[in-house]
């Protein structure tokens, strides 16, 4: 994995350091604040992970960035330009340069794998049919789905659906890809495979990745920048190494959750044993 870091540093040198900057983003639902002023800076070319327990507001943060939800306050700037969420052309040009990978893949179940991948090109670009076909086939083959072009998403396995979703995300050659819990509900081996896949295609295609997840082990290994979202606020921002050694209490409890579980279980077992003895 030396190649990606090389390309990253190259791009950083060329065009400033941060691709996406979030400043004091706020969002609430029915009086309940979910995001209480989130600020983040995502370096260009990085694999950026937002960690956090369930319910910390990770998905909402991502939806605000991807224009599915409108934030109540705060700013998002892309390449140093502030986005106006209410201005259709500003939104449109931002969305055309980003892709979004949904937790449930959000594949179009009435379209074949090929049509799923070619749809964004058909609808948002003015490419010719041949060019669209070539690029869609290329994206499918990059994700080893070339033989499944005529299959409907429902006929594919879970892992293949995930890959198809990624193929659809990268076919537009985005500068940034948002991942919403890409490993949710997968076993550890598959989780590894998903992170490996993201890192591999990031190196191949060269996008900036922002991943929201609670799979701490894989995230710390794969990503180069980590943020921890806790109760709607960012309480840690840094490299995985810094995360591993951070004294912040929330970071510690999140980091040490397996150990905490072990001690809890040990306590329970000891208690059971004691009650059995008595």
d(CA 213, CA 215): 6
The one among 52, 120, 182, 232 contacting another protein by CB under 8 A = 120
| Residue 210: strand pairing partners | 48, 178
Residue with Cβ nearer another protein (87 or 242): 87
- Which residue has 């306590």 as its token pair? 267
Q: Which stretch binds another protein (CB under 8 A): 12-20, 42-50, 119-127, 205-213?
A: 119-127
Q: Residue 45 or residue 120: which is nearer to another protein going by CB? A: 120
Q: Output the DSSP codes for 71-108.
A: -SEEEEEETTEEP-TT-HHHHHHHHHTEEEE-TT----
Q: Are 59 and 27 in contact (CB under 8 A)?
A: no
Q: Which of residues 212-271 bind another protein (CB under 8 A)?
A: none
Distance of CA 231 to the CA centre of its chain: 19
Asked whether position 161 contacts another protein by CB under 8 A, the answer is no
Site string for another protein, 42-81 (x = CB under 8 A): ---------------------x--xxx-------------
Residue selected from 44, 58, 61, 100 as contacting another protein according to rule CB under 8 A: 100
**From the CA atom positions of the chain, what is the Rg in Å?**
20
Which stretches of the chain bind another protein, using CB under 8 A? Answer: 63, 66-68, 91-92, 95-96, 98-100, 102-104, 106-109, 119-120, 122-124, 172
């Amino acid at each position: 994995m030396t190649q990606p870091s090389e390309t990253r540093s190259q791009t950083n040198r060329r065009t400033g350091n941060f691709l996406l900057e979030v400043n004091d983003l706020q969002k609430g639902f029915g009086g309940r604040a979910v995001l209480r002023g989130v600020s983040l800076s995502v370096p260009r070319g990085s694999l950026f992970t937002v960690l956090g327990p369930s319910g910390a507001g990770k998905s909402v943060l991502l939806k605000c960035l991807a224009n599915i939800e409108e934030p109540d306050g705060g700013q998002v700037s892309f390449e140093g330009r502030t986005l106006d969420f209410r201005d259709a052309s500003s939104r449109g040009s931002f969305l055309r340069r980003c892709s979004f990978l949904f937790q449930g893949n959000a594949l179009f179940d009435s379209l074949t794998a090929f049509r799923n991948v070619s749809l964004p090109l058909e609808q948002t670009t003015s490419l010719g049919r041949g060019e669209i076909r070539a690029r869609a086939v290329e994206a499918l083959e990059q994700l080893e789905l070339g033989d499944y072009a005529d299959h409907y998403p429902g006929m594919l396995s879970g892992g293949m659906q995930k890959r198809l979703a990624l193929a659809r995300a990268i076919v537009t050659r985005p500068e940034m890809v948002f991942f919403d819990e890409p490993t949710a509900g997968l076993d550890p081996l598959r989780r590894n495979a998903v992170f490996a896949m993201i890192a591999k295609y990031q190196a191949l295609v060269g996008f900036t990745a922002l991943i929201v997840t609670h799979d701490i082990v894989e995230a710390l290994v794969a990503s180069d920048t980590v943020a921890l979202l806790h109760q709607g606020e960012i309480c840690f921002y840094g490299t995985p190494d810094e995360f591993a050694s951070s004294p912040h209490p929330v970071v510690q409890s999140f980091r040490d959750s397996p150990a905490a579980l072990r001690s809890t279980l040990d306590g329970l077992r000891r208690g059971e044993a004691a009650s059995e003895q008595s």
